[in-house]
Structure 1
Amino acid sequence: MIKELIFAITGGLGLFIYGIHLMGEGLQNAAGDRLRRLLKALTRNVFVGTIVGAGITAIIQSSSATTVMVVGFVNAGLMTLRQAIGVIFGANIGTTITAQIIAFKLTDYALPAIGIGACLYLFVNKRFWRYLGLF
C-alpha cells in the first residue's frame, strides 16, 4: 500500500517536471525572440510584472496555471528569475482579488455599470470610449 503510494507520487512528480521541461523547449522553439521581447516589455519592472500576473490570474482563474507558465518561461530562457518573481507575486494577489470579487454583492453595481456603458457607447464619438462602453 505505502509502496504503491510512493511510486504514484514519484511518478506523478517526475511526469510533472518532464512536462515543464517539454513546455519550455516547445516555447523556446515556437516563440523565441518575439515572445521574449513581449515578456520583457510586460515585465520590465517588478511592479508592472505584478500587475501582469494579477491580470493573467484574473483572466484564467488559476494562480497555479500562471505559475506553471512562468516556470516554463524561465526554464525556456524567455524570462529571468527577477521578472518571474513579480509575475508570481501578482498571480497570488490576483487569486486573493478574485476571491474578494466573488464575496462582494456585484448585483448592486451591475445596473449602473450597464447604464454607464450604454451611455458611453451611444453618446461618445471617440473610438476608445465607445469600445470601453461595450466592455
Structure 2
Amino acid sequence: MFFSVLAPFSIGLSFFLFGLYAMRSGFQNLAGKKMEQWMYKVTRTPAHSFWMGLITTFILQSSSAVTVLTIGLTNAGMIPFTQTVGIILGTNLGTTITTELVALKLESFAVPMLLVGAALWLMPRKSIRCIGLVVAGFGLIFLGIDTMKVMAAPLEQSDTFRSLFLESRHSIWIGLVTGIIFTALIHSGTATTVITMGLMSNQILTMETALAIVLGANIGTCFTAVIASIGTNTASKQVAWCHTLFNVAGALIFLPFLSQLALVSAFLTDNVSMQIAHSQTIFNLICSLVALPFTAQIAAFIQWLIPDKKR
C-alpha cells in the first residue's frame, strides 16, 4: 500500500510543481525585467500595491516568490517597507486565481495542452515560445492532479490513514498544523490545496478539516520568505514577518468560523473542489479588503515590533 500511495503522489507532485515552474518561467520571460520596474513604480498607494501584488503573484504562480522579490527590492532600497504592505495583501488573493482554475477539473485537457505547448515551444519567436511554456505548464499541472488522484483509493482503504483523519475531525488544529508543515516542506500552498481537493473528492476529509489545511497552507507559504530575509536589512525582515503575522492572524480569526465558511461555499456550488477554492478565495478576499484601509497602521505596528536598530 505504501508504494501504491507514494509512487503516484511523488510523480504527480513532481508534474504539478514542474508545471508551476514552467508557467512561472514563461510568464517571467514574457514580462522580462519590467516586473521589477512595475513594482518599483506602481507602489505609490496601498491600492496600487495591492493590485501589483495580485497580478505578480498570478504571473509568478507563487506568493512566496513575490514576497521574496519584494524582500530583494526592499533590501536594495528600491521600495520602502511602508509601500510593501499592499503588495503582501495582494499576494494572498493572487494565489487563489490558480486554485480556482484548477478546481474547474480540466484534467482531460492535460495532454492536448502539453502537445500545444510543445508545438509553440518549437516556434522561432521568443514570445510564442514563452506562451508555449505557460500552456505546457498548465498541462503538467492538470496531469499532476490526475496522477495524484490514483493515491486516493489505497488511502481510502487504509485504517491508519482513516483513524488519523477521524482524529482531525475532533481537532481542526491537526489540519492547520498539517497544512503549515506540508506547505513549508514542498514550498507550494497551491499544491497543498490541490492535494486537499483530491482527498475531499474521495470523502477522506471533512470540509472543516480541509479548510483548516488550506488555512495552514496560507501560513506555510511564509516559510520561504522568512528564510530569504535572513541576513538582510531591517526593512526586508519587516516584509517577511508582516506577511507571516498577517497570515497567522487571518487563520486564527477564521478558524472558529470554518463551519459557516463551509456553508457559504456549499451554497455557491455542489462541487467539493470548487467549494474549497471558493472558501480560500472568500477567506483571502475578506482578510485583504478588511486590512487594506489600515496598511499604514499595520506598517507602523510591524515597525514597532521589528524596529530599525540604526534609528
User: Is the CA contact (8 Å cut-off) linking 1:21 and 1:72 kept in structure 2?
Assistant: no
Choose from 155, 160, 170 the match for 1:31: 155
The answer as to whether partners of 1:42 and 1:52 remain within 8 angstroms in 2 is: no
Q: Does 1:63 align with 2:173?
A: no
Identity, % of aligned positions: 28
Q: 1:86 to 1:23 in 2, by over 3 A?
A: same
Looking at structure 1, the residues matched to 229 and 196 of structure 2 have their Cα atoms a distance apart, in angstroms, of: 28
Structure 1 counterpart of 2:224, from 83, 98, 112: 98
Give the equivalent residue in structure 2 for 1:14: 106
When the two structures are superposed, what TM-score results if normalisation uses the length of structure 1? 0.56
**CA 1:41/1:47 → structure 2, altered by over 3 Å: closer, same or farther?**
same
8 Å Cα contact 2:169-2:206 kept in structure 1: no
Give the Å deviation of 1:54.
0.4
Residues 1:41 and 2:167 aligned together: yes
After the TM superposition, list the runs of 4 or more consecutive aligned residues in structure 1 that deviate by more than 6 angstroms.
Answer: 16-19
Superposition RMSD on alpha carbons, in Å?
A: 3.1
Is the 2:152–2:202 contact (alpha carbons within 8 Å) kept by the matching residues of 1? Answer: yes
Q: TM-score, normalised by structure 2?
A: 0.27
1:87 partnered with 2:179: no
Work out the CA distance in 2 between the residues paired with 1:88 and 1:63. Answer: 8
Contact 1:27–1:73 (8 Å) recurs in 2: no
Ranges in structure 2 where 5+ consecutive residues have no aligned partner: 1-100, 108-140, 233-311
Alignment partners' CA distance in 1, 2:169 and 2:180: 12
Q: Structure 1 regions of 5+ residues with no counterpart?
A: 1-8, 107-135
SS of the equivalent of 1:31 reads: helix
